[in-house]
Amino acid sequence: MKIRAAVLSERGRPRPYAESQPIQIEELDLEGPGPGEVLVRVTAAGLCHSDLSVVNGNRPRPTPMVLGHEAAGVVEETGSGVKGLSVGDHVVFVFVPSCGSCGPCAEGRPALCEPGAAANAKGTLLSGETRLKRGEETVHHAIGVSCFAEYAVVSERSLVKIDSTLSPEEAALFGCAVITGVGAVVNTAKVIPGSTVAVIGLGGVGLNALLGAKLAGARKVVAVDLVDSKLA
């Protein structure tokens, strides 16, 4: 099928990006889902600093590549062997697909999935395949998602089914900002009830760290930022 997508063709172009324009909206060919894969219609996507890190070259990834990893959507088609999802399901994308059988996955740490990390570095899906083409040229996937597009084909293991009543704009944030901010509080800082927490920087991740601190039962939460509107 033909889709429109935001394609990064070259990393490290000079700023300002409004002039050098490293990202262009292009028409691409998207193959249907293979075994264990799902076609998703993207309904909302968020812009994350990790996308910028690919654009400026701080996080090397193969190009050309369709960017985007924080998004929500609706399942349009499933490939063979897909059991946990059906057409019409509302989903959130996950930027580290978990194979379910490697050491970290077996230990309950799917975010450290070794095959998932290897596929992400190569710009492929978990299967090692790519489903995007620009003419005869292969276009890579951004950490198994590539959601800056009308549609995306991803591994079933790159999706989590959600309640259909959750708005797409809110659901998309669970793909990165929520799990990063709340995870920093619960899993890394291990905040316990009665703690005092300081959050430095109130972007998408910082605001969700505030929510995570509240969730964890912090007695006092101190927000630190240089931008008054964020403090408000």
pLDDT for 102-149, tens place per residue? 999 999 999 999 999 999 999 999 999 999 999 999 999 999 999 999
Percent of the chain with pLDDT over 90: 97
Domains annotated on the chain, with CATH: 2-172 (3.90.180.10), 179-231 (3.40.50.720)
Mean pLDDT of the chain: 96
**How deeply is 40 buried, as exposed, middle or buried, from its count of CB atoms within 10 A (0-12, 13-18, 19+)?**
buried
Global pTM reads 0.93
**How deeply is 48 buried, as exposed, middle or buried, from its count of CB atoms within 10 A (0-12, 13-18, 19+)?**
buried
Q: What is the CA radius of gyration of the chain?
A: 18
Amino acid at 216: A
> What pLDDT, on the 0 to 100 scale, is given for residue 2?
98
Q: Which of 27, 32, 37 is nearest to 6 (CA)?
A: 27
Q: Summarize the confidence of residues 58-75 as an average pLDDT.
A: 97
> What pLDDT, on the 0 to 100 scale, is given for residue 230?
86
Q: Summarize the confidence of residues 155-165 as an average pLDDT.
A: 97
Residue 74 has pLDDT above 90, yes or no: yes
Strands 220-224, 196-200: pairing is parallel
What is the Cα–Cα distance from 113 to 224, expressed in whole angstroms? 33
Residue 232 has pLDDT above 90, yes or no: no
> What pLDDT, on the 0 to 100 scale, is given for residue 45?
98
Handedness of CA 113, 114, 115, 121 (dihedral sign): positive
**pLDDT tens by residue, 180-224:** 999 999 999 999 999 999 999 999 999 999 999 999 999 999 999
Q: Which of 198, 208, 202, 195 is nearest to 231 (CA)?
A: 202
Asked if residue 202 lies in contact with residue 229, where contact means CB atoms within 8 angstroms, the answer is no
Q: Summarize the confidence of residues 36-52 as an average pLDDT.
A: 96
DSSP element (H, E) containing 170: helix 168-173
